[in-house]
Amino acid sequence: MTNLFSDLKKPVALICLAASLSACSAAVSDTSVSQFHSSVQALCGQSFEGRVVSDDPQDDSWRKEVLTLGPITCVSPEKTTMALNVGADKSRVWSLDLMEQGQALEFKHAHSLKDGSPDPVTNYGGMASDQSTAKHVIFPVDQFSIDTFRANGLDASVTNVWSFTLEPEKTLTYALRREGREFIAVFDLAVPLK
* pLDDT tens track for 91-139: 999 999 999 999 999 999 999 998 889 999 999 999 999 999 999 999 9
Q: Kindly state whether residue 76 falls inside one of the protein's structural domains.
A: yes
The domain that holds 77 is classified in CATH as 2.40.128.20
**Do 78 and 42 fall within a single domain?**
yes
**Do 91 and 171 fall within a single domain?**
yes
**Do 99 and 138 fall within a single domain?**
yes
**Do 22 and 115 fall within a single domain?**
no
Sheet with 104-111: strands ordered across = 124-127, 104-111, 89-99, 79-86, 67-76, 48-52, 181-188, 171-178, 161-167, 136-140
d(CA 72, CA 47): 6
Q: Which helix (H) or strand (E) holds 20?
A: helix 2-29
**Do 17 and 78 fall within a single domain?**
no
Local confidence band at 74 (pLDDT 50, 70, 90 cut-offs): very high
**Do 69 and 154 fall within a single domain?**
yes
Q: Kindly state whether residue 194 falls inside one of the protein's structural domains.
A: no
What would the pLDDT profile of 81-90 be if each residue is shown by its tens digit? 999 999 999 9
**Do 45 and 3 fall within a single domain?**
no
> What was the pLDDT predicted at 77?
96
**Do 70 and 109 fall within a single domain?**
yes
**Whole-model pTM?**
0.83
What would the pLDDT profile of 10-27 be if each residue is shown by its tens digit? 444 433 334 433 443 344
Mean local confidence (pLDDT), 16-43: 69
Total number of domains in the chain:
2
Q: Kindly state whether residue 118 falls inside one of the protein's structural domains.
A: yes
What would the pLDDT profile of 129-182 be if each residue is shown by its tens digit? 999 999 999 999 999 999 999 999 999 999 999 999 999 999 999 999 999 999
On the question of pLDDT at 184 being above 90, the answer is: yes
d(CA 114, CA 116): 5
**Do 79 and 150 fall within a single domain?**
yes
| Mean pLDDT of all residues belonging to the chain | 88
What residue spans of 64-183 are helical by DSSP H? Answer: 143-151
> What was the pLDDT predicted at 29?
64
**Do 112 and 173 fall within a single domain?**
yes
| Residue-range definition of the domain harbouring residue 181 | 31-188
**Do 26 and 50 fall within a single domain?**
no
Q: Kindly state whether residue 90 falls inside one of the protein's structural domains.
A: yes
On the question of pLDDT at 8 being above 70, the answer is: no
**Do 130 and 161 fall within a single domain?**
yes
> What was the pLDDT predicted at 6?
45
Q: Kindly state whether residue 179 falls inside one of the protein's structural domains.
A: yes
